[in-house]
Each structure stands twice: as C-alpha cells, then as structure tokens.
Amino acid sequence: MSNRLAPYAAALLLLQGLAACSDGNNVPNRQENASDTAPGNGTAVASISEQRLIVAFGDSLYAGYGVTQQQSFPARLQRALAESGIAASVRNAGVSGDTSAAGLRRLAFTLDGLERKPDLVMVNLGGNDMLRGIDPEETRKNLTAICEELKRRGIPILLTGMIAAPNLGKDYADSFNAIYPDLAKRYDAALYPFFLDGVVTDPRLMQDDRVHPTAQGIDAIVAKVTPLVAGALAQQ
C-alpha cells in the first residue's frame, strides 16, 4: 500500500466505519431518484426518454451517509454529468451497511424495479466485507455473481474499488485488493480502483469517522469519476 493511503489504513484499523455503516438507526433517508436534483446551470432538462439511466449500486459511500441527499454521490454525479452536457438520471441504490452478499440478494429486485434497462450500473461493494474480516474469496464470489447478472442482462458495468486495511495481513490484502481489477478485466468493466483516492488523506474532506467523505469530499470524488462515467456511456 502506498504512503498516501496510510491515513485510510489507520482509520480502518479503528473499524469506526463498520459501526457507522451498520447502524440502521443512523442511516439517512436515501433519495429515490437523483433526477429530482436540478442541474443548476440553466441547462434545459431532457425528457425521460432522452436521459441516460445510471444506477449507483453500493453501500454507504453511494447512499450518502452523513450528508444530505442533494450532496450524495449519485446526486452530485448527475449534476456533474449535466454540466458536461450529458443528460442522465443517476439512481441512488446505495444501502448503508451492505456487504457484497446483501447487495447480491437485492440486485435483481433493484433492476426489476426500474422502468427500463440501465445504460450503466456502478458497483461499490466490498468495503463492509473487509471491515468485518470476511474471507476475500467470499467477497469475490459475490461480486462475480453481481457482474454475471449484469452481463446476463446486457448492462455495462463500472466498478469503484476499495483497499484492504493492513492489520488484516498481507495475504488478506493481496487477495482482497486483486478482486476489482480482476473483475474489471474479466467483464470488460470500467474501473476506478479506489473510491476514496485523493480524499481520504485530507481531513478537510472526510467526516469525523475518517471513513465517509464530506460533501466537499464527494465533490472531489465526482470530479475524478465523471470523465470515466462519460467515457463508459460514450462506448455504447
């Protein structure tokens, strides 16, 4: 693990995020449709039939833990895409505390509840598996099943990965950290290797739990992820 990720590793050593992500009483209400957030730059809003449909499927980092729904990753990504000239509805399908197994169990229900097949599904799961010390092979199996289902339905994938805490040992880290690039290659998915890259090392961009980004931190992440999302959409 590089030195720039050391503060992240230290935060994970405390396992503070596990408690925060798993407490259902502290989970904010999630927005059902980020398209309710106006672009805010005077751009005309496209009709539903003209919008690209993106699903942000993950845990608290997508759900918007500790921030308002207008400040959540899906809402801010939708705004950034609009400012780039891409009309998109980014659905917030993040559930705080979800493991990869929990995500797999609700995937079909989430997709079947949409009005049409998404143009892209973003997946951010595995962080809670790692915090709980779940065997990386179990995480890999679940994420593989998620990717298989998306492939079966003909839905393009964008993975946003996580990094294992060093206190879990080198063998664990090597096994866990390889999951995301391996799946990206296997399923021809776009990959953003570490969701909190460039943010977790700046205390001004992280909440007090040192695991979840602030609204400003989310904006910093969105600035990096938006071009990758735009590129994935352009390939269709």
Catalytic residue list: 60, 209, 212
CA-closest candidate to residue 211, choices 2, 1, 21: 21
Helix axes 179-186, 170-177, angle to 10 degrees: 20
State phi, psi for 191 to the nearest 5 degrees. Answer: -135, 125
The residue type of 141 is K
* Distance between CA atoms of residues 13 and 81, nearest Å: 35
Please give the span between the terminal C-alpha atoms of the chain, in angstroms, as a whole number. Answer: 34
The answer for residues whose C-beta is within 8 angstroms of residue 13's C-beta and 6 or more apart is 165, 166, 167
SS (H, E, C) 120-178: EEEEECCHHHHHCCCCHHHHHHHHHHHHHHHHHCCCCEEEECCCCCHHHCHHHHHHHHC
* Distance between CA atoms of residues 144 and 125, nearest Å: 11
